Amino acid sequence: MKQLLDKNSALKLIFVCGARPNFMKVAPMFREIFKCNNCLKTNKIEPILVHTGQHYDYEMSEVFFKDLELVKPDIHLGIGSGTHAEQTGKTMIEFEKVILKEKPDIVVVVGDVNSTLAAALAASKLHISVAHIEAGLRYYDKKMPEEINRLLTDHISDYLFTPSIDASENLKREGISDDKIFFVGNIMIDSLIANKKIASQHQTISQFNLEKNNYVLCTIHRPENVDNKKNLFKIMNSLNEISLKVPVVFPIHPRTKKRLQESNLLEKLQNEKNQLIMTEAIGYHDFLNLEMNSKLIITDSGGIQVESTALGIPCLTLGNTTGWTDTISQGTNTLVDIEPPKIIAEALKIFDGETKVGNCPTFWDGKTAERIVNVLIKNNFSN
């Protein structure tokens, strides 16, 4: 049985983030911990933030810390780009040094990026408890590197904080014991609710000369969509066709931009007489403003599927599967095959008024971080 901390000890947590989606999941945890520490009379929680540097572009990283009012990282590993093996291996080597120096009680990882798996592996091998926020999501497609990261991280974690009932059931089917599984809700909604008012005050749509509810917002970054030239061409052809009728705003992920340049698609699209507005990746508040005011979102991002459902904006997810099943069954999300006729037809249907109406799933209430902190206190502090 694990030894509970006495009243004079602090619970030391290392939070690991490495990519843009991670920051939105970590920020609510730090807000809740600081709030909780002000209330605790004895035990305190000592959080340490480690940024692996998997995303090193300013708009993909530092600007998010500013927008989310997230504390600056205590430790920056500076891993940078590379193959999956290079990123995972380098992160394990550098993060192991951090663990040995800091001696945390728990390593907290979020999402499904390479940093998530690497940190979980390093901690587990040193017999440090691992908590996985956003556990249990399954796409059932092992060609996706993120799916491998999810599976392995979940099976070596001690606390599995799930965003949905479906995610909890996935873990149970895989043989993970009930006492490790905690259905706490969607941590991304905590960030959304905390930042919605600020984002609404931004003038982002005016800066792009857009009209509210009269444009499409699109993001693509998944390897299966951008590294496959045939798939990338299909998606960009669809966006070009849609933009002949309505404006399409396309903040370009660095990975996607590189592939577009390699395929000579970027220059070609820029020379077309369309309404395709291609821009660099933008900050959280500006992007949220674009989401809130759009008529339709086209994406392959799990986080944006979630945000669109919370905002009540129709979303077309490019692909045949998603781990965010509740955005399909309860929310505004629709899966669409990447064949251009399918994408174009589904998009134009929405502009013709055939809009899917959805509801927010259980525990999408901005209190997920609070529930997670309560679990950690209950399981680690003696009365």
Active site residues: 221
Residue 381 DSSP label:
B
Tokens of 375: 């679990």
Angle at 281 between CA 279 and CA 284, to 5 degrees: 125
> Coil, strand, or helix at residue 247?
coil
Tokens of 308: 């669109």
- Estimate the share of the chain in helix, then strand, then coil, as percent rounded to the nearest 5: 50, 15, 35
DSSP structure string for 213-229: TS-EEEE---HHHHTSH
DSSP structure string for 17-86: E-SHHHHHHHHHHHHHHHHHHHH-SS--EEEEEEE--S--SGGGTHHHHHHTTPPPPSEE----S--HHH
Tokens of 114: 């390479």
| Distance separating alpha carbons of residues 52 and 36, to the nearest angstrom | 26
Q: Which residue has the tokens 């999300």?
A: 333
Distance between start and end Cα atoms, the chain: 16
216 to 23, 238, 243, 313: CA distances (angstroms): 25, 12, 8, 11
R_g (Cα) of the chain, nearest Å: 21
Q: Which helix (H) or strand (E) holds 5?
A: none
